[in-house]
Structure 1
Amino acid sequence: MLYPMLRTLLISFFDVDSAVATNTPFVGLGNYIQVFADPTFWGSIGRTLYFTVVSTGTELIFGFVLALLLNAKLKARWLFRAVIVLPWAIPTVVNAAMWRGVFDAQYGPLNALLTQTGLLDQYRAWLADPGFALNAVIIADVWKTTPIVAFFLLTGLTSIPGEVYEAARIDRAGWLRIGRSIVLPMLVPAISIVLVLRTVDAFKVFDVIYVMTRGGPVNSTQTIAYYAFNTAFSNQQFGLGSALSYIIVLIIFAITTFYLRLLRRSETSLL
């Protein structure tokens, strides 16, 4: 891992515009300055932040609800847990291809369902709509990743001693009070871990966008990782692409550091 990391860092200080380039002048921080001066970069940052916040927040909410259901004393609970994990077990590329088919403008089942129920008058090109395409990608990501979030939170729920619930019932605490005063505070470490993992993973999202939209339409789904890919491999600007890669690394490092500090504070408050 060390060699490609150092090699990429080195390339980011040179003007490398081809894989076989022989003239690669040293530009210092020129690539980084050019990136920060590019409006496309800031647009991709905004879309990445939107994707990260919406997908992670939605997965956390749905995952918490699923965790509560999976923690309930139901018959064949093991079967529900096995079924719930299936979306996460599907490879990301397969998941993205499946959702691309769901949103297909001509043959997609979503259009068929909405038109047959009278909610739409005609088929809609969902992935060609700049105002909806990124939300379609978020739906695909949420469907795949919510199960693993649910299992992280389920682990936290099962670690709460039963005596705590019994003591709360003796004090005649309602389910809302139990959830707010007992469950959520004791789930803070699990929630923090989920936030770290999912935020980092969502911020560098690439594969689901590559399969579903290729960054379109009109760059409406072009996140920072896809922008770096286009810059380096489609436009053959490897110096700029390397600078973008390290900017992504620095942003992820800052996000992770922030979350880890929150995790330490939450653990200290619980102790």
Structure 2
Amino acid sequence: MVDDMKRVSFAEFGGPDVLRLVDAEEPHAGPGQVRIAVRAAGVNPVDWRIREGQFQKVHPIELPAGVGQDASGVVDEVGEGVDGVEVGDHVFGEGSSAYAEFAVLSAWARMPEGLTFEEAAGYPSVVETALRILGEVGVRSGQTLLASGASGGVGSAVLQIARDRGITVIGTAGAANQDYLRSLGAVATTYGEGWVERVRQLGRVDAALDLAGSGVIRELVELTGDPRKVVSIADLDAPELGVRFSGVAGSMPDALAEAVDLISRGKLHIPVEKSYTLAEAAAAHIDSQAGHTRGRRVVVV
């Protein structure tokens, strides 16, 4: 007898309306994996970029496909060759088809004390991305980093990790998120007309990150004076201007270990702005695509 579960799936590429909540066969943990009863799944821009078919040329997927890579939950199956974790442990990490009642994780860590499942689901990809791009852009203690579009999940992580490393961060965001950026230790300013001049008045910029893909690559190069001092995670055309587009993930186990350390030391907290049910996955994608997020959005199972 095959056990069925609910999962969010899409059978064609397109807008949020292609997402369906369907009955699917439960996945099982293979070698080096664990399966969790999902409590929450993180909503990431990569989820809707895949759903739209943006990555088909680079990473083709077969349809129908599940959605989501970040999740938190309770371990209920441990694959061959896995030690240090057992059934019943509360973990968060990265896997596939995470908007579902059960998901298989390929990288995970025990949840730090005091973290809710909803919060935990918001960390894996954004912390990995933040650590990776801070490394790639080569910014060091005592220098100043500009983060364009800084109030979302990756921005929230970048600001706090940079602060912990002694890096000054200037963050741009909408008017409604200025106090939020300041609460994370950033020097905040708004984007929109005249933003380059506003940043200039705040001081020299040693490196810059494009987190929102709002067509600012030329200005970031102008502010840093060097395309090699700019990294984008959101503008696929960045390489045309000599700027690195960072899309290849580094080590998730290392990133999760660092996340646990930062959270446990009280140096990293990413708030959940809004939660959705599995049936509301399309609404979660619509809101994520609209931007202006403060912290994270998660799907709760």
TM-score normalized with structure 1 length: 0.23
Q: Greater share of helix residues, 1 or 2?
A: 1
> Which has more radius of gyration?
1
Structure number with greater CO (CA < 8 Å, separation at least 6) is 1
Q: Greater share of strand residues, 1 or 2?
A: 2
